[in-house]
Structure 1
Amino acid sequence: MRRIRRYLTASVAAAVLGLCLPAMTAQAQTLALQKNVAETDSPFADPNLIYLEADQLIDKSEDNTLIARGSVTGRYQTRTLQADEVVYDLDTGNVTAIGNVIIIDADGGTQYSQKIELNSRLESGGATDFVARFPEGGIAAAAFALRRADGGVDLYNAYYTACEACRKADGTKEKPTWRLRARQVTQDKADQMIYYHDAVFEVKGVPIFYTPYLAHPDPSSERRSGFLIPFGGRSGAYGVFYEQPYYWAISPYSELVVTPRIMERVNPLLMADYNKKFNSGSIEIEGSFTYDSFFDNRGDSFSDADVFLNPDLSLRGERLRSHLFARGEFDLSETWGWGFGVQTATDAFYLDRYDIDEPDSDFGLYDGGSRRLVQQAYLVGQQDDFRYSASTFGFQSLRGNVTRNPNNLNQIIVNQEDNSTLPVVLPQLNADHYFDVPVIGGRLRAFGDGTFLTRSEGDDYNRLTAGLDWQRTLYTAQGISVSPFAMARTDVYRLSSEDLTEDREFTRTLGNVGVDARWTFIRPGQNVDLTIEPRVQVTQSFGEAKQDQFSVVTGGVARSLTEDGIGLDLDRALLWSANKSTGFDFWQEGFRADVGTSFGARWDDNRASLFLGQSFASGYSDDFAQTSGLDGDSSDIIAQAEVDLSLGFSGSSRLRFDEDDGTLRRVDTAANYTGERFSGSVRYYKIDDLFNAPGITGAQIPPEEISGQASVKLTDFWSMRYVANRDLDAAVTRREELAFIFNDNCTLLEIYYEKRRNNLGLAGNSSGFGVRVALLTLGDFTPE
């Protein structure tokens, strides 16, 4: 700094030669800097020096101080200081900034004060009327602040909030939605923590909670161990309950959240969620456990007078109950990877009793389906021209219910799907390899599939498949897209069943040839662009399907041994499949023609589309079930419409119509609207009674239901949300939720009431209310 003083003094003398002025203008100072800064020996090339720029620069030799006044800017490395006046003591190197002082750090953090005293490197010192803004959000203020050399700050008579300090129309300051006020607040830069002594939590200036000590990560900290915000409420089954999660940052690559749930009417539950990342992948583990009896919707266990009609399914007595969801995915190389997924619970009703959601459908390669858990492991190799996989998987059923005999309320009836009848696949093998075909062009796919399925009780299934599939796309001069295709494959089967005297072994060779053609017409308009695309696909199948081999007669009733490709349901995707099956087992002989037309319109930022399609067949044996929509020589008519308007409205509808009896077999219609203050969605779903096959209650799809949600913005910060799901066939509202939400971008408060009624009887119905809270930069917690 002495070098700068000498340099600036010489510059002043040169600039104002012959004049006796005590100061120089900022323009003259800047010119002097620009003239010399590029010189190799310029003092301004030294990063360890402080640079001051101001309207006036006063040299007070008698006090050995340098005073900069008017729009002062001071820079040291990556830190910047701004003030009305800066006094530099040449003896001590200390800097005193006075009036509208601002210090800006390299990370964007900003401190404000009326007076700050700092050391020569702008690092440590004290400040009055201090305010700090963190780069990631959050404000700290204090009557006095002490800035330490390590960059940390001690605040006295201070507070912290993530809310903006806005002003009302009359100029007075609004109280923040929430703030933490304390006698002393300490920010530790090394630990990235903020500590409070004698802290009070305030909401709109009203004290709510006091604690002698409190700590939380500062906004610059990405991960930090500590208590998360709790969650509580009241449930019809639990009574009053409280959850207090604790977050443990085990390492930079692993973390654990442990959450005990304390409940009024039943024993406590402990939940845990663990995540760890590796160089090659990651694992996620979620679980919970308790030691308790089965309890009904009111939190009551079974009494001594209760009698289970099936003693093997008794739910009586305290025991360890738990669940575990775990999955992992790892890369072996750029081509190969492996993974696993584990989903299990100690009983079929555990998840429902404790309101634990089933896993997402992307838990692995295989989805267990509605109310079924799946355990799986897999190996996959994939590049642009091939994909190979080997896997194994099995299931656990959650399908069932618990009811009281209406004629004798002390008799308990438990219905539950038998897990021993569910399949275990070991292994499932799949291979696809693509080749470019010379001479005739197109692409050839060589494929193979092997499935080996067994059950503890029931049928076993083994199949090997290998084949070739070719396709090429050509374009005519008129713009017609023509795609010829051909396929041939061989299947080898061995089917085992208790209803067969010996294993059924057979082979079959199948194939088809066909062509898919589409012609797109586009008509640009002044206001609306229209498109029409008719499409036709014709397929001739060869080979003997041998569908009779998949049938066994027990007690005069035929039963299917099919495992792959069951439950066909005609939609737009299946319509354009050459073989109308989702798997390998079913094969349709003969000739089939599929026709459809797409209509589209676009105008401004709006679009609308409609698709109509139907399939026709001849020379085949009718093996399709009526529920598939493909039985007979003509299929059901399928329609799909979509609209998306710039006004915020969008909608879609999917229909399946049986023209023989004039029945809508399936209706699935949804509409959505998003506006400035109102948003909502509604979905109506109906399937024909043919689909409502009897089975375990709770596993069926409701034949007719309507669901939706609506959100209304009541004020700038308050909104209301309502969610409902109504089973129209049973005339029961399965789920309702009403929530009031406050959100001002620094605080989220949600107070909700929820009611559920399902087909699980004593094991599922519940109701209650709860509170969710999220404070910006302090974290949030909402139970899964």
Structure 2
Amino acid sequence: MPKPILLWKLLLGLLWKLLLGLTLGLGGFGAPAMAEEPDAKSLFEKGVVFLEADQMFEDKEAGQYVARGDVEVRYKNRILRADEVIYVPEQNKVHAKGSVTVIESDGTVSFAEEVELNDDLATGVALGFFARLDNDATIGAASAIHSNAGRKNTLQKAFYTACKACMNEDGTPGKPTWRLRARKAVQNQDHHMIYYRDAIFEIKGIPVMYSPYFAHADPTAGRRSGLLFPNAGQSGKYGLYYEQPYYKVISPYSDITITPRAFTKVRPVIFADYRKQFYSGNVRIKGGITHERDFDSNGVRFGDDEVRGFILGEGKFRINSNWKWGFSAEVVTDDLLFRRYDINFTDETRGLFRNTSNRLSSQLFAVGQGEDYFASISAVEYQGLRAGDNDDQLPIAGPLIDAKKIYDDPVFGGKFTLGLNTAVLNRVDGINSRRASASLDWNRRFVSKSGIITKPYAMGRVDYYNIENEAFRADLGTTNQNIGRALGTAGAEIRWPWMKAGQKVNWVVEPIVHLSASPEGDGIDNFDVITIDNLGNVTRTSTSLLPVEDSLSIEFDESNLFRSSRATGHDVWEDGLRASVGGRISARWGNSGFASLTAGRAFRSTTNTGYTTGSSLQGKSSDYVAGVTFNTGAPLRFSSHVRLDPDSFEINRFDVLASTRLKKDKLGPLSKILHEVRSTVKYTTMPARATGGTALNELTFSSQAFFSKNWGVRFDMLHDFEQDKTRRTSLGLVYDDDCSRFELTFVRDNTVDRLLRSGDSIRFQFTLATLGSFGGN
């Protein structure tokens, strides 16, 4: 008979095998398989295996060795705990009983009531198996069998969920929000997949769906190819539809999702979403294609069969720590294709420039930024989706260059900034323009003993233009004009902040005056636009040689009140003497409380026809402008802007944006029925005289109210007061917890675009953590 100490060495070696076996086998649901370790007995002799128990003894009658009472085995960063561990030499078996726990080095924990493992690790059995995975999911079974030969784990009466199982108030185990239960589950460790037989999907313990076969990627795996959750629904435009996404892993750095969508009224569409990660960046390209005719809101098809589709792509790459380059591609064959197939093409901002409403752009750009410089070069091509858009009249822009270099060495106590800017715009039908500009800015900051802050500045700029305009021919005899101009301005901004510190609120009152002076005129000559009516009468209209390209949309408010120029580009120039007079009052309290009011008005010595009439900047005095901001953090955020006519004090623009998020403890009496409320409201009104066209008067409202921690309702609305029409309304039921989100929403859309009129729809979306989402209309 071997000596006791040698028997315990052997037992410890086998216990290490048990621990490793649990890691390789039954613990494989939570961790990747490990490589073979050195001989366990030699490891023990080196003193690296630790065994601790209340009792350790030999049972000669039963022919077994027993460690009992809070047994713990440690090797490196792995731990095995059990109430009792028994080794039977004749059977080469090791049993672990009672609250068996295996803790992996990555924190993954597996549990079982009882484990039996042979010493060659070929087979292992666990009863009452349960594992907590690193993604907060759990998997369990009445019994689990591990086989090293096929590297498979077989679970009987298995379940899987990503939900936390909480205890009920009476101490009984709670039911997870959802659970996948199966008669049998097999984990293939080589393929990193889990296959289920007779799978039942349960919600709160209630079976809602059955499938004889189901599979998903092993939680220890990365990306896996396979079918994703399908989507289905119905629309008056294309009838019933069903789409089945398929996800394909192409390489460790690239994948593609292919989604065929079939309809009952029209022909199918195939969508694709391709992604690839490079060392220096990434590319994502989405697209769709079909062969179909046009169809209206009722699914009535007309016109010719054509190949129709779209591409939405983007790539961004690092050149070095300061420079990057990228591109975007946005192209569609039909203006209404996105609306016909309910494709959201505005879900992402692709490229360097954000698109305006119903416009696509394809861009190529490079951007660099350091501590004292910024530079960008880009090219952009546009595609219009509006009813009146003519792509031949939209510009192809490029190269667009914007560069600035700051010189820190003081000159007259201030800093210089050197700027370079170019814009080249070409059209198939319309005006072509090319511009190059160079500028030099200087600014400085003084603070007097009395606290007056003065910021003097000066700026000089030269512009060179080449304009091709067919309208030149009648008056000038040519369609091409070269224009050069030199511009300059100087001025100062003067602020005198007064502060009053209180016990709870700190106040700052700040009068502000901004003064600017520039030579009169913008350096551009005029020409006569000659028109002849049906009676032969000739009309001459004097117009600037320079078309306004980069300052078409100018909004005058308190944010640009104290600037020397409100133009957003280079084409419009403010000349003469100018003054902006106003002030700001602000208050701060607590950790995040802030409120401010900014108001003022602008004056000038000359008129400026470069600005639109609605901007109030054409005349010698502007509207009154004011802006209010109020922020208490999450509970309430409020901002408002107003523009008032200086004579009648009528509103030329008014908008307000307010958002709130109130928890149960902030709801007062409503806390008896509400758990949380989140709301956002935005209101904007502008009369026709301020827009230069159609009046704007609309309200957007969005709110979510939760009646419990998980259940709530949401409401969204867009109402046009000018036409007395609610353009869009949605009302939905929401469930949200740690492992799932469900939304059931009724949507009424009254938007009309040519032959397409939206209607009513019911949408649902079900998202399951670790498994994916599915839904439909």
Query: Shorter-chain TM-score: what band?
Result: 0.7 to 0.9
1:685-710 deviations in whole A, cap 9, x for unaligned? 1112124455xxxxx7x711001111
Rate the CA distance shift 1:551–1:729 in 2: closer, same or farther, 3 A: farther
Take 2:283 and 2:426, find their aligned partners in 1: how far apart are those partners?
29
**The 10-residue stretch of structure 1 (168-177 or 419-428) with the greater mean CA deviation from structure 2:** 168-177
| Residue of structure 2 aligned with 1:773, choices 762, 766, 777 | 766
**Letter aligned with residue 377 of structure 1:** L
Q: Is the 8 A contact 2:472 2:527 kept in 1?
A: no
Q: Distance in 1 between matches of 2:218 and 2:276?
A: 24
Please state how far the C-alpha of 1:387 moved relative to its aligned partner. Answer: 2.6
**Structure 2 residue aligned with 1:19:** none
> Take 1:729 and 1:290, find their aligned partners in 2: how far apart are those partners?
39
> 1:126 offset after TM fit, Å?
0.8
Range with greater deviation from structure 2 (372-381 or 553-562): 553-562
CA distance 1:747–1:618, change in 2 (3 Å): same
Deviations 1:312-363 (A, max 9, x none): xxxx222111111111122233343321111111011111111112345731
Q: Work out whether residues 615 and 690 of structure 2, in 8 Å CA contact, stay in contact via their aligned partners in 1.
A: no
**Change in 2 beyond 3 A, CA 1:721/1:438:** closer
Partner of 2:650: 663
Alignment match, 2:751: 758
- Structure 1 letter corresponding to 2:304: G
In the superposition, relative to structure 1, how do residues 124 and 571 fare at CA in structure 2: closer, same or farther (>3 Å)? farther
| Counterpart for residue 441 of structure 1 | 413
For 2:449, the equivalent position in structure 1 comes to: 477
- Separation in 2 of the partners of 1:744 and 1:564? 48
Which residue number corresponds to residue 283 of structure 1?
A: 283
Q: Within 5 Å, give how 1:310-321 maps onto structure 2.
A: 316-321=303-308
Equivalence for 1:590: 576
- Residue 184 (structure 1) aligns with: 184
Supply the AA of the counterpart residue of 2:397: V
Deviates more, 1:208-217 or 1:345-354: 208-217
Equivalent residue for 1:336, pick from 319, 323, 338: 323
State whether residues 231 and 773 of structure 1, in contact with CA within 8 Å, keep that contact through their aligned partners in structure 2.
no
Shift of 1:543: 6.0
Paired residue for 1:382? 369
State the partner residue of 1:24: none
- 2:624, 2:408 → 1: CA distance? 37
Structure 1 pair 624/746, CA: closer, same or farther in 2 (3 Å)? closer
- 1:88-487 aligned within 5 A: 88-89=87-88, 94-119=93-118, 125-149=124-148, 153-302=153-302, 316-359=303-346, 362-400=349-387, 416-487=388-459
- What are the equivalent positions in structure 2 for 1:604-683 lying under 5 Å apart? 604-605=590-591, 606-619=593-606, 623-645=610-632, 648-676=635-663, 677-683=676-682
Evaluate the alpha carbon distance shift between residue 509 and residue 66 of structure 1 in structure 2; reply closer, same or farther with a 3 A threshold: same
Shift of 1:547: 4.8
Q: 2:361, 2:382 within 8 Å by CA — same for their partners in 1?
A: yes
CA distance in 1, matches of 2:624, 2:3: 89
Matched, 1:521 2:498: yes
Amino acid across the alignment from 1:717: N
> Contact 1:4–1:43 at 8 Å: present in 2 too?
no
Deviates more, 1:67-76 or 1:457-466: 67-76
Deviations 1:225-263 (A, max 9, x none): 222222222223233222222222222211211222222
Q: 1:525 offset after TM fit, Å?
A: 0.8
Residues 562-594 of structure 1 show CA distances to partners (whole Å, capped at 9, x for unaligned) of 212222221233223222311111112111112
1:781/1:610 CA distance change after superposition, 3 Å: farther
Cα deviation, residue 47, structure 1: 7.3
Going from structure 1 to structure 2, the CA distance change for 1:578 and 1:5 (only over 3 Å counts) comes to farther
Percent identity for Structure 1 against Structure 2: 35
Q: Distance in 1 between matches of 2:184 and 2:46?
A: 35
Relative to structure 1, is the Cα distance of residues 554 and 354 closer, same or farther in structure 2, using a 3 angstrom cutoff? farther
Q: State yes or no: 1:539 paired with 2:526.
A: no
| 1:294 counterpart SS class | strand
Rounded to whole Å, the distance in 1 between the matches of 2:775 and 2:586 is 43
Contact 1:392 1:428 in 2 (8 A): yes
1:450/1:554 CA distance change after superposition, 3 Å: farther
User: 1:396: Cα distance to partner?
Assistant: 0.8
How has the CA–CA distance of structure 1 residues 94 and 599 changed in structure 2, closer, same or farther, with 3 Å as cutoff?
Answer: farther
SS of residue paired to 2:560: helix
Aligned to 1:73: 72
Aligned CA distance change for structure 1 residues 116 and 454 (closer, same or farther; 3 Å): same
> Structure 1 residues 473 and 192, CA, compared in 2 at 3 Å: closer, same or farther?
farther
Q: Distance in 1 between matches of 2:739 and 2:147?
A: 29
Alignment partner of 1:578 is 2:564:
yes
Shift of 1:389: 2.7
| 1:709 counterpart residue number | 702
Bigger Cα displacement from structure 2, 368-377 vs 538-547: 538-547
- SS state of the match for residue 619, structure 2? coil
Work out the CA distance in 2 between the residues paired with 1:75 and 1:119: 19
Shift of the alpha carbon at 1:765?
Answer: 2.2
Q: Secondary structure at the match of 1:564?
A: coil
**TM-score, normalised via structure 1 length:** 0.85
Give the counterpart of 1:490 among 454, 459, 462.
Answer: 462
Q: CA RMSD for the aligned pairs?
A: 2.8
Unmatched tracts of structure 2, length 5 or more: 10-40, 533-538, 664-675
Count, aligned residues: 717
* Deviation per residue, 1:53-99 (Å, 9 max, x gap): 12222234565643222222122333212121111345676431111
Q: 1:5 to 1:618 in 2, by over 3 A?
A: farther
Alignment partner of 2:339: what SS? helix
CA contact (8 A) 2:602 2:621 kept: yes
Q: Which deviations, in whole Å up to 9, do the C-alpha atoms of 1:647-670 show, x marking residues without a partner?
A: 712211111112123221111101
Go from structure 1 to structure 2 and tell me whether the alpha carbon gap of 1:299 and 1:321 turns closer, same or farther (over 3 Å shift).
same
Q: 1:245 to 1:550 in 2, by over 3 A?
A: farther
Partners of 1:469 and 1:45 in 2: how far apart? 76
Aligned partner of residue 318 in structure 1, secondary structure: strand
The separation in 2 between residues aligned to 1:550 and 1:64, in whole angstroms, is 113
Measure how far apart 1:106 and its partner are.
2.1
- Would the alpha carbon gap of residues 770 and 351 (structure 1) be closer, same or farther in structure 2, given more than 3 Å must change? same
Structure with more relative contact order (C-alpha pairs < 8 Å, separation 6 or more):
1
Q: Give the corresponding residue for 2:31.
A: none
1:508 aligned onto 2:479: no
Query: CA 1:167–1:448 in structure 2 vs 1: closer, same or farther (change >3 Å)?
Result: closer
In the alignment, is the contact (CA less than 8 A) between 2:653 and 2:686 conserved in 1? yes
Q: Secondary structure at the match of 1:500?
A: helix
In structure 2, what is the Cα distance between the partners aligned to 1:778 and 1:710? 29
